[in-house]
Every structure is written in C-alpha cells, then in structure tokens.
Structure 1
Amino acid sequence: MASASPNLYSFPNSNALAESLRVYVLRAQNSALSRHESFRLAVSGGSLPAVLAKALLAPGNGSPEDTPQFSKWHIFFADERAVPLDHEESNYRLLKDELVAKIPAELGSPVIHPIDEKHVHDDDPQELADLYQEDLMREFAAKDSVKLPVFDLILLGCGPDGHTCSLFPGHDLLREKDAWVAPETNSPKPPPKRITLTLPVVTHAVNIAFVATGAGKKEILKQIFDLEEGSSLPSALVNQGAGEKVSWFTDHPAVDGVAFSRRGSL
C-alpha cells in the first residue's frame, strides 16, 4: 500500500481544469515517449472524454512539449460495457465521438483498442474480459514475464457512489489479485454486463488521474478524502494503493467542504 497522499487539485472553472489537465497528460506523454516508443493509456467513459477533448484539442503554444503526438498513443479502456461499438452506451463510441473523430489530421491518429464485438451478447462477459486481457498481454509482453501491465497513464471518473472503472462498492471484484481484466455481470447501473481493469492494474500505472466536477460530487469526495467510512470505496482504494501517483482534477463545487489539503496548480 502506498504511503504518500494523492494530489487534489481544484479549479474555479472547466477552462482552468482543462488547461491543467492538458499539461498533466502531455507531461505523461512526453515522459512515456522518453522511455519507450509509445504512450499507453486507459480511459473511462462518462464525462471524461468530453473533458479530455476540451483539454487536448485546444490550441497549444506550438512547442513540441505542448503537442499531442496522437500517432504514438495506444488507448485502452479502463472499463467497457458489453454492447456493440456503435451503441449509445459504448465507451468506445463515446471516446470516438467526443475526441478521436475531432483530432486534426496533422496530429495523427491514435491506435484504439476496443473490445471484441463478437462476444458482447454472450450471457457471461468472461470471454470478453479474457480476450481484452489477451490484447493487453500482446501490448505489454507475455504474462509469464510481466505480472501486471504498466500503463503510462490511466484516466478515471468517480461515480456518486465512489465507484471507478466498473469497480463498485462492496463487490467481490475489489479483491481480485490475479486477473488484469475482469467481468462484471451485475453492475448497479445499466448496462449490467461489463468488463473492467482490476484494482492492481489501476494502482500499478505510472500516473493515475481522476476528473470529478460539479456540486453533485462533493458528498462522495468528502467521504473519500475526509472520512473513515469512505476508506473502502473503490476510488479511495485507488488513493490508498497508488498514493502520490494519483492526481484528482476537480472544480471548486466538487470539493466544497472537503478538508483534505488541495492545490490550485500543477
């Protein structure tokens, strides 16, 4: 378990948050490309793709450090719903519509790693999870030589119940130690069948960022950051497992009343 605390950033508005998120993501990109030839990240759905698009598609200052090199990106999904890729509930479709389809041609195109659409209607999403894990293994080396994949960045949301990815409070999946990708057959929110990265994979990443905005998040963020009763929530478990590798990007209404020390800039 990590000992250092996560970083909690709070911004007055969505523009300021997006500007800082851009700096953070591109720092992670540039650091990754200095270590290896690609930038491997995982993203969640919800409001995150729209925020990511606002951050990354804004005009930069023209410097190499401030330029997304999308042609070197490999984008995986931190979780995905067992639905066809063109379904309105698909995180793949959401990311494609909000970000990927809007990337200017001169910035290149990322490699996207979707789920295997042939298995979305299976009664049990285990095969869907296994195939996605195999995709990760091809990218991150054979499992017998790598215990866990090391993503350069994982971008997450936080639900009003404290869930992240498709890791829900009280579910057995929170205790999974071996699988990289696991099925969820009974999600508390529809659709019920999903796959998700497991907690050890999330906390093993080089950088982990949450984006949580709006007054509707303040009660759950109080629990996650200030109260013992929130310590078993999935988002809090990421904080505990990864410590200072975790950065939260919030607006002021989302952390109104949160006592945990927060920062205004990177």
Structure 2
Amino acid sequence: MAAYEPKKNSEIRIFESSDEMATDLAEYISQVSEISVKERGYFAIALSGGPLVSFLRKLCEAPYNKTLDWSKWYIFWSDERAVAKNHADSNYKSMKEGFLSKVPILSSHVYSINDNATVEDAATDYEFVIRQLVKVRTIGVSESTDCPKFDLILLGMGSDGHVASLFPKHQALELKDDWVTYITDSPQPPPERITFTLPVINSASNIAILATGVDKATAVHLAVSDCRDGPDTPAPLPARMVQPTNGKLVWFLDNAAASSLDMSDGAYQQHREY
C-alpha cells in the first residue's frame, strides 16, 4: 500500500469509539463557535443528515449546553430531502428531534427549506434567504469567491463518496455560479433534494466530514489519497473535491472507515484527547 499524506489545510482524526468521536466533535464545534462569535458576532453552521445527528449528542450535555452562546447560532442545511418536515426522511426532522430541541437555539435562527414548494422553487428560495443573510453579514462572504462563507459546514460521506446531495458524476458537481441547486434523480431515495454546490462548501471557514464503518473505507482512501489525477483516473469522488479555498478541512473517522489508509509512515495519528 502506498503512503498517503493529508492534503494542504486538512487534518485527519481517527477514533477508537463513537463516544470518543462525539466528545472530540463537540469540543471542535465549541472552539469554532467561540472563535466565530468573538470575531464576527455570529456562528453560521450548516448541518446535513444521516448519522451525523447522533454525533452531536455531547453538545446537548454539560458543559456545552450551558457555556456556548447559543443565541448567536444560526442553523442551515447543506442538503435536504424534498419531503414534509414531519417525514421520516427529513433531515430537519431528525436534527430537530436529536439535537435542536435539546439546546436553546432560537427558533428564528433555524433556516429550513420550504417544504410546501416544488424542489426547484425550494432551492431558489433557500439561496435567496442565504443571499439576504450574507448582505447583513450574518453569514460571512468569501473575498476570493464571493460565495457565502459559513463558519462551519458539517458533512457526512456515503460509501459512494457523496457529500451533501452531490453524487459521483452528477452534473450538479459542475455548477459554478449557483449557491444552492436541486436534483430530481438522486441515486438514493428520495430522488428530489436540494443541496449546496461545491463552490459554497469549499468557501467555508471550516469543513468537517464524518465517516464511520468499513463500507466507507474505500471512499475515504480515494478521497484523501495524494495519488495524481491522470487521463485514466476515474472521476474524482465528490468528497475528494471538497478542498477549502481559504479554510480548513477536518476528517473525523473511526478505525473501520480509516482501515484502508496507510499509517505505517506516521502520516496519520491516532487521535489523543485534548
């Protein structure tokens, strides 16, 4: 197995257990939140769906539930399924039940998509909302890309290497000017979704990608390896295309997801508690 090193402005953290990962993720989010509030007066965070919500559980406990300045938090979604908010597939529903309802975030600071609109209109509406908040600097703006500069975007990764609702070889990966787009042909149900585009994701100050399980190992390996792309190289995975413009990317992996990485040269370090 070849040796690999993390890309520029990226870090890989590997954990023995889900509890260790959740503990470290809470500390990481807490630090980013405190810095953002101190520097900008706000903390704009974009969440995603899937198992991510279970790893936010430590934020609902002491000391974070008492010490974080929750009044400065503004919640967004990097992607959402075009279903009703009370639908089992709704990212909003799972995040509200597992996280938002357990911390004192202002309901007026939670920006979910319009579930009564068509998926196309929902994407348009969501981008409009974000543009308005960029104008008043509740969300920052990237000087290099003119895209919104979220303080933190939390992403999961599928076994196919997709992030948000950006799937391999999908035309949505090519979009340059849109901030939010929609798809009607997701390879995983439900088919209709809205999603941040790559320019928006890559403009964030901080990006964290969580991946657990041996079914993610190959995708993790392909996403973080430093092998050069050539004419015979398969199309890069969406997760590999997450390359912050002026921010930092942190991978949170369990041992199973990291099992295809070569750690013999010390490029990757087992995470140690703060």
Check if 1:101 corresponds to 2:105: no
The 3 A distance-change label for structure 1 pair 242 and 236 is: farther
Q: Which residue of 2 aligns with 1:75?
A: 75
Residue 214 of structure 1 is matched in structure 2 by: 213
Alignment of 1:19-98 (within 5 A): 19-52=23-56, 54-60=57-63, 67-98=67-98
In 2, Cα distance between equivalents of 1:48 and 1:4: 25
What is the CA–CA distance in structure 2 between the aligned matches of 1:35 and 1:243, rounded to whole Å?
A: 16
Match for 1:55: what amino acid? Answer: K
Whichever residue aligns with residue 127 of structure 1, its letter is: D
Q: Compared with structure 1, are the counterparts of its residues 59 and 211 closer, same or farther at alpha carbon in structure 2 (3 Å cutoff)?
A: same
Conserved? CA contact 1:6–1:243, under 8 Å: no
| Letter matched to residue 258 of structure 2 | V
User: How far off is 1:69 after superposition?
Assistant: 2.0
Flag structure 1 segments of 5+ consecutive residues without an equivalent: none
- Give the alignment of 1:123-142 within 5 angstroms: 125-141=119-135
Which residue identity is paired with 1:83?
Answer: V
Structure 2 CA distance for aligned equivalents of residues 214 and 168 of structure 1 = 19
Mapped to 2, the partners of 1:187 and 1:91 lie a distance apart of: 15
Q: Which residue identity does 1:133 align to in structure 2?
A: E
Decide whether the 8 Å contact of 1:230 with 1:236 is kept in 2: no
Compute the displacement of 1:243 (Å): 8.1
Compute the TM-score of the two structures, normalised by the length of structure 2: 0.85
- Whether the aligned pair in 2 keeps the contact of 1:80 and 1:115 (CA below 8 Å) is yes
Q: Counterparts of 2:59 and 2:49 in 1: how far apart (Å)?
A: 16
Give the superposition deviation at 1:57: 1.5
Deviation of residue 99 (structure 1)? 0.5
Measured after TM superposition, the shift of residue 244 of structure 1 is 6.5
> How many Å separate the matches in 1 of 2:248 and 2:256?
24
Q: Are 2:164 and 2:196, in contact at CA under 8 Å, matched by a contact in 1?
A: yes
Q: Do the aligned partners of residues 237 and 34 (structure 1) sit closer, same or farther apart at CA in structure 2, a change above 3 Å counting?
A: same
One-letter amino acid of the counterpart of residue 112, structure 2: P
2:204 touches 2:244 (CA, 8 Å); kept in 1? no
Question: 241, 253, 268: which is aligned to 1:262?
Answer: 268
Counterparts of 1:181 and 1:167, CA distance in 2: 11
More helix by share: 1
Whole-angstrom distance in 2 between the partners of 1:186 and 1:170: 12
Partner SS for 1:186: coil
**What is the identity percentage for the equivalent residue pairs of Structure 1 and Structure 2?**
34
1:205 positional shift: 0.3
**4+ runs of 1 displaced by more than 3 Å?**
107-110, 227-231, 240-244
Partner in structure 1 of residue 3 of structure 2: none
Instruction: Quote how far apart the aligned CAs of 1:58 are.
Output: 2.8
SS of equivalent residue, structure 1 residue 253:
coil
CA RMSD for the aligned pairs? 2.3
State the alpha-carbon separation in 2 of the partners of residues 131 and 116 from structure 1. Answer: 7
Structure 2 counterpart of 1:171:
170
Q: Alignment partner for residue 252 of structure 1, among 231, 252, 255?
A: 255
Partner of 1:199: 198
Greater shift, 195-204 or 223-232, is seen at 223-232
